[in-house]
Structure 1
Amino acid sequence: MNTTRHSLRRRSTALIAAAGIAVTLAGCAASGADGGTSDDGPTMRPVADAVALLPEGMQQGGTLRVAIPTNEPPTQFYREGTQDMTGINPDIARLIAGALGLDLDIEVTTFDTIIPGMSAGRYDLTVSSMTPTEERMEQLDFVDYVQMGSALAVPVGNPQGIGFDTLCGKRIAVLKGSYQLTVNVPDLQAACEEAGADPLDLLQFQDTRQAISALLSDRADVVYADSPILGYAVKQDPDLEVGDENDFAPVAVGIPRESGTLDAVAAALEAIVASPEYAELLADYGLESMAITDARVNVPQG
């Protein structure tokens, strides 16, 4: 990482204002038609042990194509007035690219298109708060990088008294392809059926902003999504509050199987989670509780 660490301290202000941050990179640039081109953000110096594990053709340099979901503060969002991505996920991608001695190409896409895009060879990895599950492991390898939970967002005061035990029959806004939809919702539906209650009325959206808009316009009763995103949303809107939370567990970087880069990425992340750059990155977003100490490989959740 470069030596201008003091400038990273400004990121907490940028998170609230979504303003630009001027941080000089050393050895890593972000580019791409969807992610913009930027020299802003943290990085690390190459980690020799990780670089040595890259396929031979990548050890002398190259570009790491990373899929990042659409605008979802604080995990990923555009700097004000630009198409440059910042947030926890883009910054973790910058650390990975720096540790591997590679340039970074951030490609912004919707969450539900990431795995198909990786299977088609469009991306080298994804940093998208993706929960490693047995089903996803049929196509991807995973290396843990932070931990987070799921939460319910409701209108302020929670007038319907909505919690995880009162979701049956409610209009629930979820993200397409999300862990909440693919893993948790089937269990919740089964519980409603067993209780003889009405099923969940599911409303699926491409991003959490759309889901929150549905909640605020009374088209949904509750939003079920990642807790950091909902926590950020309620800070921006006094008409929302976060209710119940659950499933605090690691999320992981996804890598196409047979790509030949798993060992290198795992070694890079082992160095990253032990580094001061990682601790400072999370602290600057006020999310120290998301830190992990072990970048585990292919440990399924759910």
Structure 2
Amino acid sequence: MSVRRGATLAVTLLASTVLLTACGASDPATDLAAPKGQKDTGVNIGPDQNRIRGEKAEAAAALVPDAVRERGTLRIGAGAGADAVPPLGFYATDDRTRIGSEIDIATLVADTLGLKPQFEEVSWENLFVGLDSSKFDAVLSNVTVTEERKDRYDFATYRLDNIAFEAKKGSGWKVKGPADVAGRTIAVSSGTNQEKILVDWSEQNVEAGRKPVDITYFQKDTDYYLALQSGRIDAYLGPSPAAAYHVATAGQSEIIGTLSGAGGDLQGKIAATTRKGSGLVDAYAAAIDHIVRDGSYGKVLKRWGLSGEAVEKSEINPPGLPRTES
């Protein structure tokens, strides 16, 4: 992901985007991060973060399993390398320090539980490997609740999930449903809920007698954006916060459609993820509810321009992106 270098990042309103109607969905991304080139204003993207910190909440901390409490650390998996996505999780101006909304929220959760946050950066697929092997206690890295994932993991929600189609500026088309991407070349990251939705849309197009979607994959975000500008792809489907950030920073693309990360009939949810039966999900939900109430959660989302994706309360294992039909 291309990141404009500089010491500060201003938060402002972006131009309105097309919102596909989804049951229970709110306007997803009208206040996302957008640098304005102003000095000494906005959010610091340097390595010295002055991160918003929390205090231990005894009621939430009491829900932490004894083994974790005695260890004193919360081992948290975070995306690395090609999975660095502003404003969710990316590198500061020193190209080493990990910053972003996901890091801030994970730190607040650990603080609230009376634990020291211990981050390890791995590739997307290894986040789940780390949970399966009990290497990680939690993953807070833009993970969407899905029915298939609920078979193996427990979830405590902390943000709404919305995704966006990003096209070259002046493309002249909008995406409102499957028919709008029939025959188009769309890039998406492998193993994501965006990919599942796009595959489902392609199948719907074929069933309706339309052309399928030509789904394309690249290794990293910079490759997607180079392909977009060169015309090798028509659009890129990714997290709405990341798309809005790139539109604002690069100025070469535009959002042509948004929808819930769970598809057209359900509002997607982003959640703190833990191995099923680890005993931690209740503690995470309690910690998230606590930081919502004390206002620190709202400050973090506002800092990164994500207030439009706030939740009022954490939900444990809510309905997620439906299973793939076999």
Structure 1 pair 11–53 and aligned structure 2 pair: CA distance change class (3 A): farther
1:224 aligns with 2:237: yes
Secondary structure at 1:213 match in 2: helix
Give unpaired runs (5+ residues) of structure 2: 1-7, 12-32, 38-43, 261-266, 322-326
Structure 1 pair 205–113 and aligned structure 2 pair: CA distance change class (3 A): farther
Superimposed CA distance per residue, residues 40-63 of structure 1 (whole angstroms, 9 cap, x where no aligned partner)? 522210110111111113334522
TM-score scaled by length of structure 2: 0.78
Cα distance between partner residues in 1 of 2:284 and 2:157: 10
Secondary structure at 1:101 match in 2: coil
Matches within 5 A, 1:107-186: 107-159=120-172, 164=177, 165-182=179-196, 184-186=197-199
> Greater helix percent: which structure?
1
Task: Report deviation, 1:286.
Answer: 2.0
Cα distance between partner residues in 2 of 1:75 and 1:236: 15
What is the match of residue 28 of structure 1?
none
Structure 1 pair 238–11 and aligned structure 2 pair: CA distance change class (3 A): closer
Task: Report deviation, 1:125.
Answer: 0.9
Cα distance between partner residues in 2 of 1:162 and 1:246: 10
RMSD: 2.2
Which of 268, 278, 284 lines up with 1:259 in the alignment?
278
What is the match of residue 96 of structure 2?
83
Structure 1 counterpart of 2:182, one-letter code:
C
What is the match of residue 282 of structure 1?
301
Cα distance between partner residues in 2 of 1:46 and 1:11: 30
TM-score scaled by length of structure 1: 0.84
Cα distance between partner residues in 1 of 2:171 and 2:283: 46
**What is the aligned residue count?**
276
Matches within 5 A, 1:239-258: 239-247=252-260, 249-258=268-277
Secondary structure at 1:205 match in 2: coil
Superimposed CA distance per residue, residues 167-225 of structure 1 (whole angstroms, 9 cap, x where no aligned partner)? 1121111012111112x123202211112122111112344343223212322111011
Structure 1 pair 261–11 and aligned structure 2 pair: CA distance change class (3 A): farther
Which of 302, 318, 323 lines up with 1:299 in the alignment?
318
1:129 and 1:251 in contact (8 A); partners too: yes
2:142 and 2:270 in contact (8 A); partners too: yes
Cα distance between partner residues in 2 of 1:252 and 1:208: 23
Cα distance between partner residues in 2 of 1:123 and 1:57: 13
Structure 1 pair 132–161 and aligned structure 2 pair: CA distance change class (3 A): closer
The higher-RCO structure (CA 8 Å, 6+ apart) is: 2
